[in-house]
Amino acid sequence: MKVLVAIKRVVDYNVKVRVKADNSGVDLANVKMSMNPFCEIAVEEAVRLKEKGVATEIVVVSIGPTTAQEQLRTALALGADRAILVESAEELTSLAVAKLLKAVVDKEQPQLVILGKQAIDSDNNQTGQMLAALSGYAQGTFASKVEVSGDSVNVTREIDAGAQTVSLKLPAIVTTDLRLNEPRYASLPNIMKAKKKPLEVLTPDALGVSTSSTNKTLKVEAPAARSAGIKVKSVAELVEKLKNEAKVI
Amino acid sequence: MTILVLAEHENGAIAPATLNTVAAATKIGGDIHVLVAGQNVGAVGEAAAKIAGVAKVLVADNAAYAHQLPENVAPLLAELACGYSHVLAAATSNGKNILPRVAAQLDVDQISEIISVESADTFKRPIYAGNAIATVQSSAAIKVITVRATGFDAGAAEGGSAAIEVVSAAHDAGKSSFVNEELAKSDRPELTAAKIVVSGGRGMQNGDNFKHLYALADKLGAAVGASRAAVDAGFVPNDMQVGQTGKIVAPQLYIAVGISGAIQHLAGMKDSKVIVAINKDEEAPIFQVADYGLVADLFEAIPELEKLV
């Protein structure tokens, strides 16, 4: 079966971002960008499905600026067969991205679509669910285990109280949680080979999708800073402070 | 304005996060209706009717809504949403699972994990693991929002006397089914609602050593959390994870033991009132957010702390 994996180019998870002085957003100039960590897990799961003989083709798609081709090449180096970039310079909301992905789903007709559970920049946790709604597919969010059998997939999900397993009819949408797998690294020969794999570039217009939004970001501020704390010398001093100064125990 | 709140419930009881969500709805203003969807949820509906500030409770009791499968609950919520100005749910695993599906069906953008209400159409929410706070305005006819529980003080669970209305609509998409559930059992307070949280990280070295934290937590009446490192290493189950991708907590007191303080962990606990860090590495980033830091070997400090509190 064909598996579609959606990936996003985001600020590297180790970077501590700074808010711009004019409060228009965070400063992303000259900051290291990477594939969103949850998307890496999604690519890895697709590659493992292919290694198990479940998946026959892996198509990786990204929606974003021209530079997102770097992340698509990374995914190709990790084992994806071909890539699609839906090029859009503006920042899109999850709904706009879901609509664009729906157009790609209609075109590619995958049996399984794997996304990360959330992007570490916007922290929305919406796109997979929205794509499922627009496609009319079942959704297995926050997946820690994915087992395809016949025309259905069993997804074990991380929920607040533990784990839950649901059975979904294919085609279906799965979003990955951290513990689904340990993503592999791309080897140098595979990085070279990935340069020759096909990468198709599309536009929202070509897909006939409007990316207008009902949300507007008015400003972005730095969070309130915590006042500096103190170091205590002993456990006894700590307990004394907690009891008499902070009064929390 | 009328606001529809999706009730969070488990094992026949209203979950505490529902009260925080109702509190957020109160800040928006207008009548508040609560939807209880599930199977055999009569008692939950009655409990929801007692929540202070709730004007009406809608009860959708149907086998299709058991286990809150989003394929079935989202169409119900989308159908009911017409006529409401806002649809709110707690940013729990359930709320996060269902609400974006509702928003897409209504063709509106969703606002996730709000931490404050500026006005009926403007909200604040953290982005970039809590390193920036965005103020977002929605022009959608129906505003679909998830609420971060720690951003709002829980309203009163008693004092209301809302009318209960039965919703007969049954949506069964037939695309998904529940297989099983493995719930972690704990006698300690629930992590996201606890007044004191004691968390362990990689420095705990193994799962067995968490017994020191459990002993301390039991003496303090605290919940026990963990960093991703501790979960990934298999010391404790993942539902104990505090952080950007785990649970968000804001207790009165957060004690971080053997946790370095990565950005992703801080995202889940830096709104705690008082933070205590116990770590043998005095350069650990956790000390930058800690109100009280103790540079010490946790295996000596924790038993001593347990004795003294």
pLDDT at B186 (0 to 100): 85
A136: left (phi over 0), alpha (psi -120 to 50) or beta: left
pLDDT at B241 (0 to 100): 97
Chain position carrying tokens 């539902």: B239
Whole-number Å distance between alpha carbons of B171 and B151: 33
Phi, psi of A152 (to 5 degrees): -140, 165
In DSSP notation, chain A reads -EEEEEE-EEE-TT----B-TTSSSB--TT--EEE-HHHHHHHHHHHHHHHTTS-SEEEEEEEE-GGGHHHHHHHHHHT-SEEEEEE--S---HHHHHHHHHHHHHHH--SEEEEES--TTT----HHHHHHHHHT-EEEEEEEEEEEETTEEEEEEEETTEEEEEEEESSEEEEE-GGG--PPPPPHHHHHHHTTS-EEEE-HHHHT-----SEEEEEEEPPPPPPP-EEESSHHHHHHIIIIIS---
pLDDT at A52 (0 to 100): 97
pLDDT at A228 over 90: no
DSSP-derived letter for residue B242 is: B
Among A112, A123, A134, A141, pick the best mutation site for testing chain B contact (most B Cβ within 10 A).
Answer: A123
**Mind telling me how many Å the CA of A114 is from chain B's nearest CA?**
15
Q: Exposure of A109 by Cβ count < 10 A (0-12 exposed, 13-18 middle, 19+ buried)?
A: exposed
**Mind telling me how many Å the CA of A7 is from chain B's nearest CA?**
17
Contact between chains at A121 and B127 (C-beta distance less than 8 A): yes
Report the complex ipTM: 0.95
- Chain B residues closer than 8 Å to A215 by CB: 109, 111, 136-140
SS3 state at B13: strand
Residue B91 tokens, joined: 């940013």
Contact between chains at B103 and A162 (C-beta distance less than 8 A): no
pLDDT at B25 (0 to 100): 97
Amino acid at B260: S
Whole-number Å distance between alpha carbons of B113 and B116: 9
Contact between chains at B103 and A214 (C-beta distance less than 8 A): no
**Mind telling me how many Å the CA of B226 is from chain A's nearest CA?**
14
Contact between chains at A123 and B126 (C-beta distance less than 8 A): yes
The mean pLDDT of A102-121, rounded to a whole number, is: 98
Binned at pLDDT 50, 70 and 90, residue A140 comes out as: very high
pLDDT in tens, B112-126: 999 999 999 999 999
pLDDT at B184 (0 to 100): 86
pLDDT at B185 (0 to 100): 85
Phi, psi of A53 (to 5 degrees): 85, 5
Chain position carrying tokens 């907590």: B249
The parts of chain B modelled with pLDDT lower than 70 are none
Q: What residues does A149 pair with on adjacent strands? A: A152
Whole-number Å distance between alpha carbons of B178 and A154: 10
Whole-number Å distance between alpha carbons of A240 and B256: 18
Contact between chains at B128 and A11 (C-beta distance less than 8 A): yes
pTM for this predicted structure:
0.96
pLDDT in tens, A153-188: 999 999 999 999 999 999 999 999 999 999 999 999
Question: Is residue B48 within a helix (H) or strand (E), and if so which, with residue range?
Answer: helix B42-49
Cα torsion A136, A137, A140, A142: sign: negative
Contact between chains at A214 and B138 (C-beta distance less than 8 A): yes
Q: Tally the residues of chain B.
A: 309
Among A94, A121, A238, A247, pick the best mutation site for testing chain B contact (most B Cβ within 10 A).
Answer: A238
Contact between chains at B176 and A165 (C-beta distance less than 8 A): no
pLDDT in tens, A179-226: 999 999 999 999 999 999 999 999 999 999 999 999 999 999 999 988
Among B18, B20, B85, B97, pick the best mutation site for testing chain A contact (most A Cβ within 10 A).
Answer: B97
pLDDT at A124 over 90: yes
pLDDT at A226 (0 to 100): 87
pLDDT at A114 (0 to 100): 98
Q: What residues does B196 pair with on adjacent strands? A: B253
pLDDT at B295 (0 to 100): 98
pLDDT at A118 over 90: yes
